[in-house]
Structure 1
Amino acid sequence: MERKDLLGLKDLSREEIEFILHTAVPMKDIIKRDIKKVPTLRGKAMVTVFYENSTRTRTSFEIAGKYLSADTVNLAVSTSSVQKGESLKDTIKTMEVMGFDLVVIRHSMSGTPHYVARNTSMAVINAGDGTNEHPTQALLDLFTIKQYKGTLEGLKVAIVGDILHSRVARSNIYGLSKFGCEIRVVGPSTLIPPGLDRLGVKSYYSMDQALKGVDVINVLRIQRERQQSGLFPSLDEYANLYMLRPEHLTRAKDDVLVLHPGPMNRGIEISSEIADFGPAVINEQVTNGVAVRMALLFLMMGGSRDEITN
């Protein structure tokens, strides 16, 4: 990978995305072994710095590093010098002079990873910045779609829910559009941002219309904190109109694939029938997330291509 940093999918080429996904295939094989550790990144060090809460993404990055034998450290922001008033720039510089090769950062302010990347020699991976992008989630979504569909080319994909605040939606739109997919979004009008048509995205307010003939349904997490701001009347009203139910699947293709970035709000975004017994592959997404993040760490911390192909 030629880039020092992974900040978003907006600026990645189709070829770069394909290369990352291709590299993740042998990484997934490592996860399935009895002995999951390989010496590929021995002597390398990475740090995760999460200014927002995270379980899946942070743990996924940490175990991905450990499987590749990199030294991994999590900076607990709530108990760090950040709480004593240390600036972000000084925090990152401290990590750099400690000898870390790569930093994984999540921040509530859009653009923060880009600022960090300009101010450090460490490689930087964006683990989610504000409402901008969440590139590794989109990459694992693409990896999962390709695993089940065999291709990413020209699929019809519906993204359901809070598009306005979703960095997952943005990264998926940027990624899927590079493969000629027909991208649809559906949700309350207050949660669909204007201007999506300029990205070739079709907006819907009816689940039945949006899901007609789709190959993939990507259900977003409703951020409960947004519910307080009056963007939709109530969670019950949202569930009544936009929760994915078994009857909705009759509108989609017979082999429709259902994704969710987690954690799920059951009974609000997705019914338990679909999550547990339907075409949802949510647990597989978690496994694929580790494989994709292993691929990125491998590519960005100097692993040799020969090490994973032999």
Structure 2
Amino acid sequence: MLTSLSRRLFMGTVAAAAIAGLTPAIAADPIKLRISTPAVEADWHAKMLPVFKEELEKAAPGQFDVEIHLNGTLFKQGTEPAAMQRGNLEMAMISAFDIAKQIPEWSIFTAGYLLRDPEHQTKVFESGIGKEMYGLVEDKMNIKILNVGYLGTRQLNLRTEKEIKTPADLAGVKLRMPGSDTWLFLGKALGANPLPVAFGEIYTALQTGAIDGQDNPLPTVRAAKFYEVTKQIALTDHLVDAIFLSLAGSTWNKLDDKQKAAVMNAAKAAVRFNNENRIKEEAQLADFFKSQGLKVYKPDVEAFRQQVQKAYLESELSKSWPKGMVDRVNAIK
């Protein structure tokens, strides 16, 4: 009788201990991931974020609470890296221009006519170059870059009627650029008079004439409806632009190995969705803009390339570029 009772007590104790050991995992709150972006809902790099959320939920059910904040409603464009560093934001899509504010070496990826096309962009960041440059961001900014997405090839979109054939034709043109020195340098290198304007204010600034034009990839021009208040698009192809899906280092360091793998795989799926759809749409948009009454044409791209590359190579910016990096990027086919 005593033996049977002792056995039952022992088994009960073991079962209670097992349940107690499981309780923290069951009761643990999901990890909040707030994603801030200036993207509008219709743009592909906004549409890729639900893909990230869905893929992450499939891989790690109930472990993450992903909130998507569009239109710069949570943090304004360009302020996201500092917010992540302060611990006020978990995720964002940041640009090379954002990174270059703190890591001058990254200004190489803000230079016009360096990356040739979306395929070249992907290959560069999947190579040792990407590993090296991502490492700088992790070490110096405490931000983990998850993957690079194709933001599009930037073109000139103007409300004026004068055709732009060479950089000289941009003299005096008030061209909107995001508010950082590296962005403004690109605007000057193109031959324009760059003015910093927040993304959310571009439409009204074009409508009122506060600016003469803006530069963005064609899918963004369509998504933000800039074509409604402009008259022409000059296909300068001056920057194969990238967006880096990133996580605050403080958040990344809290994840276990399985969670890190789930986040990386979800980011990969989201970027693939963005790239495939953006490239497909980009190829079709010239005809759409023409149907809306805009003049769409190719200027003297070689004249722009020569002027822009010369401006960068003679600037202080290029002095901070890693030695031999231009040649390494060019060597990737």
Bigger strand fraction? 2
Bigger helix fraction? 2
Structure with the greater relative contact order (CA < 8 A, sep ≥ 6): 1 or 2?
Answer: 2
Q: For the pair shown, which has the larger CA radius of gyration, 1 or 2?
A: 2
User: Under a length normalisation based on structure 2, what TM-score does the superposition of the two structures give?
Assistant: 0.29
User: Under a length normalisation based on structure 1, what TM-score does the superposition of the two structures give?
Assistant: 0.31
